[in-house]
Structures are given as C-alpha cells and as structure tokens.
Structure 1
Amino acid sequence: MKAQLVELLTLISSGCLGEAEIEQIADEATQAYADPKAFHAANPDINYDDSFPIPLGEWVVVGSLPEIVLFQGDSYEELFGEIRASFDPGVNFVLQAKQLRKAEPLVALNRIQTQLGALYPEKGGYVLVDFSEPLDDELQCVLVYRNDLERAMNLCVEIGIPAAPALEAAQYAAQE
C-alpha cells in the first residue's frame, strides 16, 4: 500500500510536496491503515476518534496535506479563492473568485473547471477532484493533471479513498 500512497500523493501534489514529505506521509498512513489502534496509541496527539466517518489511514493522508494541495471551502467562491492563492502570482487567471458568488453550483463548478483546464496545457490542464469525505467544510478537493486523472482515480479505488472529478460528480448528482 505504501507504494500506491506514494504514487497518489505524487499525482495530487503536482510538485508541491517533496519526495521526503511524500514518503513520510505514505509511511505514516500505511501504518495507520495496517494497525489503527497501535498507530493511534503511538501517536496520541492525533485528533482522531472512532466517530470520524473515515479510516485513520485516510485521516492521516488528508490531515497531512498542506493547504496548497488540499482545498477546502463552504462555497465555490471560497474554494476557488484557496486554489488561486496556491498558485504563483504570475499564473494568469481570467476567473475571479467573486465572480462565483451568485452563480448556481453547477455553473460555478463549470467555470472553475474551465479555468483550471486551461492551465498547463502540456499536462492536459487540471481537473478539480472531490477528495475523501469533507469533515469541516462543504467542499474538499485536490487538483490532478488531466493526463494523470485515470491513474489517480484508480489509485484512490485501490487505497479506498473516495474521489471523483468534481464537475462530473455534480452533473451526475443533478441528473438523479
């Protein structure tokens, strides 16, 4: 499982995490997945209990991701503000977070995905991906290069972390 976690963390961090940091997160998460009781006993400072809706290993992964990798918010305006703030100021964004304030959720999500898809065309652009179970915010996402999306989704399935391209998931939910 550690190799899968290393690969997944590498894909979702888009170069924002160093190899040593990725290895450490993957190592700790692997231990937490393998023996949650022993890991929690050895790390009593971790704010986790059995009432959480996700396994301890997943909690370690999500809790270890910096805010330049894991984006959270209660609105698409807030979420996109976090995403914009994570990029170098030289990256050209046409979309402004405030433009999402009054937009319907699907419209806002489509605008965000269109903007992200235009960045780094050599990698197919970014895809906004719902990642894990949001605990404190309504929305919780990571960015994955489109060229890496299929592999990242397969790794999430293998590891057991819920994930889906945000726009596709929202469109599917709207049809039901």
Structure 2
Amino acid sequence: MKAPLLELVTLISSGCMTEEEIARIADEADQAYADPQAFLQANPDINYDDSFPIPLGEWVVIGSLPDTVLFQADDYEQLFSQIVASFGDSVHFVLNPKQLAKTEPLKALNRIQVQMSSLYPEKGGYVLVDFSEPLDDELQAVLVYTCDLQRMMQLAVQVGIYAMPALEALRAEA
C-alpha cells in the first residue's frame, strides 16, 4: 500500500511538500493501515479511536497534510480564502473570497473552479477535489493539477480514500 500512498500524496501536494514529508506520511499511513493496533501502541500521542468514520491510515494521511494542501472550511468563502492564502502574494486571483459571501453553493463552487482552472495552464489548471470524510468542517478538499486528476482518482480508489471533483459532487447532490 505504500507505493500508491506515496504517489497519491505526491499528486495532491502539487509541489507544496518535500519528498521527505511525502515519504514520511506514506510510510506512517502504510503502517497504520497494515496494523492499526501496533501503530497506536507505537504512537500513544495519536488521538484516534474506533468512533472515527475513517480508517486509521486515512486519518494519518488527512491529519498529516499541511493547510497549504488540505483545505477545510464551513463555507466556500472560507475555503477560497484558504486556497488564496496557500498560493501567497505571488499569484493574482481575479475572484475575491468576499464575492462568494452571499452566493449559493453551486455558483460559488463554479466560480472557484473557473478561477482554479485558469492557473498553471501548463498543467491544465487545478481541480478542487473533495477528499476523504470531513470530520470537523462542512468542506474538505485538495487541489490537483487537471492533468493528474484521473491518476489521482485511481489511486484514491486503490487506497480506499473518498475523492471526487467538488463541482461534480455538488452537481450530483443538486
């Protein structure tokens, strides 16, 4: 399971994490998937129990991703604010998070996706992807290069972590 975890984390990190960070997350998650009890005994500081709706290995992946990779929020204005902050001042966004404040979810998410699709054209832009089961927030997503989306989705299925392009998922709910 380590190889697909390594590739999955690499794809969702979109260059925001070092190879060492990615390898550590994949290694720890692999151990947690393989033997949850042994992993918990070796890591007593881990705050996980059987009431969580996701497996320990998935919880390790989610809990290890920095806030420049995993975005968690209760609304699209907050989510987009986090995305903008993750890019820093060097990237200019046409869309402003405040413009999403009173916008219905589908329109807000569509605007975010249009903005993300226009960035990094060499990779086809980014796709906002719902990732795993949100535990404390309404929304939980990662950005993936459009050119990597299909492979990322295959790997998510292979390791058993829910992933779905956010706009597609919201349209399916409507």
Amino acid paired to 1:90 = S
CA deviations 1:80-130 (Å, max 9, x no partner) are 000000003121100000000000000000000000000001100000000
Matched, 1:7 2:7: yes
2:61 match: 61
2:50 match: 50
1:21 match: 21
Amino acid paired to 1:93 = F
2:158 match: 158
What runs of 5+ residues in structure 1 fail to find an aligned partner?
Answer: none
1:113 match: 113
SS state at 1:67 partner: coil
Amino acid paired to 2:141 = C
How many residues align? The count is 174
Which stretches of structure 1, 4 residues or more, deviate above 6 A after TM superposition? none
Percentage identity across aligned positions?
72
2:128 match: 128
Cα RMSD, aligned residues only: 0.5
Distance 2:173 2:154 in 1: 21
Distance 1:42 1:80 in 2: 37
SS state at 2:27 partner: helix
1:140 match: 140
1:76 match: 76
Q: TM-score when scaled to structure 1?
A: 0.98
What runs of 5+ residues in structure 2 fail to find an aligned partner?
Answer: none
Q: TM-score when scaled to structure 2?
A: 0.99
SS state at 1:58 partner: helix
